[in-house]
């Protein structure tokens, strides 16, 4: 049993999607993984926007003045805010 446990620990954990918003050709998926951008400090988590088949990775975080998700996509140079109620919980991958 010890060998089996060490086998699983040696591989990195992958982020799981937690919330998703779908609108036709666009979708926004929020992950529980840390944001990889070095230019943003106050948006700690990873978000992926898929628009017309192209994926853009960004950062997101909740704001303290309401139930809102604030997002930043560096490559698109876009900042967005959406109410948390439009996102649905991801049940399966």
Concatenate the DSSP letters of all residues of 20-86 into one string. Answer: EEEETTEEEEEEEEEP--SS-SS--EEEEEEETTEEEEEEEEE-TTSSEEEEEETTTTEEEEEEGGG
The 3-state DSSP class for residue 1 equals coil
Average pLDDT on 61-72 reads 89
Within a domain: 2? no
Residue 26: which of 5, 56, 59 has the closest Cα? 56
* pTM metric for this prediction: 0.79
Number of Cα atoms under 13 Å in the Cβ half of residue 49: 18
Average pLDDT on 38-55 reads 93
Residue ranges making up the domain that contains 67: 17-89
Within a domain: 11? no
Q: Examine the pLDDT at 84 and tell me if it is beyond 50.
A: yes
Within a domain: 5? no
Residue-level pLDDT at 15: 66
How many folded domains does the chain comprise? 1
Average pLDDT on 56-75 reads 91
pLDDT in tens, 68-79: 999 999 999 999
Q: Examine the pLDDT at 87 and tell me if it is beyond 90.
A: yes
């Amino acid at each position: 049993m010890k060998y089996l446990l060490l086998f699983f620990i040696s591989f990195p954990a992958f982020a799981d999607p937690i919330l998703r918003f779908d609108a036709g050709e666009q979708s926004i998926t929020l992950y529980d993984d840390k944001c990889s951008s070095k230019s943003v400090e106050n948006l700690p988590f990873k978000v992926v926007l898929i628009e017309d088949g192209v994926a853009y990775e960004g950062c997101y975080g909740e704001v303290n003045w309401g139930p809102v998700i604030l997002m930043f996509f560096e490559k698109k140079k876009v900042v967005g805010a959406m109410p948390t109620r439009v996102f649905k919980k991801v049940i399966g991958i």
